[in-house]
A and B are shown apart, each in its own frame.
Chain A
């Protein structure tokens, strides 16, 4: 149950490397439902925020907590990166790997992987090497590999960056379906159109701090600050 993990809270969470603050201090509380979209200018800290919440960067200060223990929460999450790492194996083997790792019998894992290959439109490509896939195919495969174990929470860092319209549409459809099936989605994008299509709430990051956070409708319709308004109008904000 997703609700057992939330709220996800960041309290004064900060990541510094050497003398530079990458993100923070961040104070944020996310509930169990919806799709949270993180937006902001390049270099504002979107990726760092996602990694911080997912727990794959070490905090310099503050804390990130879940309603359950952190190891329990981490076991129920997945992360799709902007440039996912593909195993030098076939499409099918990339999909069966996480299932086999979880102890699923081989025949069952293969059946489930084939089902997912069909869902992402790659049923005819299961024997192809993952390394020769196009950018869009790779991203769909990475998404399927993340969703195949039905995570309660899915983080995505700019999953559609540099993809064409068709691939973007397919990925957005997968995300909406996953969310409808119960996966909580927290994702960054630089594409305001995508943010408007997917978001139920928006986090606007500026200079490593959360500048504005709220329901998507309000964020887009009546931003609180001049910086947010400028950003939404396409002005350069940093």
Chain B
């Protein structure tokens, strides 16, 4: 049964720091009007990287954050900057490469296998190299694969996802991308999606309300109300139903609120 969340049509304004990948996916444009209609909350998004989003939260510049970097989130809570962490949804990273797939990623059964195949065949790989969440994730995967990515085959471009995909397209190289950026990418050329689905590639988004004990001005009541909406059946339907080029981008996985 769908939970009723439309309780307060005059709730007010609230600031939420979100990551660029979430914003660029287009999901925000779907959710924000529905949140306002259901709760009366007008959300003002501050679109930044995960690290900056958490810094905004720690400084009390926003009322809550929606980010995807588990270790940093845990640290944020441990330091008392946020009241708690609530998982909302995940999307995934995918491995893209030349359709001819010389490293045979499509035959790999894990992301680790796929990356080792790229490294041992020294097939060209384009890395964002920009210290973004996606770049950090890529480095963590290389680390898990016990490979130090270096050499002529590993091109670090120090640029955003679109530029990295463009470089890979021009070179016929492999690249890791979030699925939304790949689907939105218009210059696919000879590239194809070659590997996806390993749970290590999942990208968990969590909602962290800023601690009002540190910053009395934060709108904790609205943050709680937004959390209720983000974890509701209404949100589940909208998040799971959001598609790009016929593909679902996010999977809702918010657990029900614990009953005291």
Contact = CB atoms under 8 A, between A and B. Distances in A.
Interface of A: 17-18, 54-58, 70, 74-75, 79, 81, 83-85, 87-89, 97, 101, 131, 145
A87 B121 contact: no
A193 to B, nearest CB: 26
Given A79-B122, A84-B120, A97-B116, 10 more contacts: A18-B170, A54-B102, A58-B172, A58-B190, A70-B100, A75-B104, A79-B121, A87-B116, A88-B147, A88-B148
A55 B171 contact: no
Interface in B104-122: 104, 113, 116, 119-122
A22 to B, nearest CB: 12
Contact of A85 (B100, B104, B119, B190): B119
A97 B146 CA distance: 12
Nearest to B146: A88
B151 interface: yes
Interface of B: 98, 100, 102-104, 113, 116, 119-123, 145-148, 151, 170-172, 190
The dominant DSSP class at the B interface is: loop
A87 B113 contact: no
Contacts of B151: 83, 85
Contact of A81 (B122, B148, B172): B122
Contact of B120 (A55, A85, A88): A85
Contacts of A97: 116
6 contacts: A79-B122, A81-B122, A83-B151, A85-B119, A87-B146, A97-B116
A57 B210 CA distance: 50
A70 B99 CA distance: 13
Nearest to B143: A88
A74 B122 contact: no
Contacts of A84: 120
A107 B33 CA distance: 60
A55 B171 CA distance: 14
Contacts of B104: 74-75
B113 A56 contact: no
Contact of A58 (B98, B121, B145, B148): B98
A21 to B, nearest CB: 15
Q: Which of B98, B116, B122 has the most CB of A within 10 A?
A: B122
A97 B122 CA distance: 16
Contacts of A79: 121-122
B173 to A, nearest CB: 9
B117 to A, nearest CB: 8
A74 B104 CA distance: 9
Nearest to A98: B120
B242 to A, nearest CB: 34
A108 to B, nearest CB: 19
A145 B171 CA distance: 28
B113 A101 contact: yes
Contacts of B147: 85, 87-88
A132 to B, nearest CB: 13
Contacts of B190: 58
Given A17-B171, A57-B172, A58-B190, A85 B102 contact: no
A55 B116 CA distance: 18
A170 to B, nearest CB: 22
The 7 closest A-B pairs by CB, nearest first: A58-B172, A88-B146, A56-B102, A85-B119, A87-B146, A81-B122, A89-B146
A97 B190 CA distance: 30
Contacts of A55: 100, 102
Contacts of A88: 146-148
B100 A58 contact: yes
B122 A56 contact: yes
A145 B120 CA distance: 10
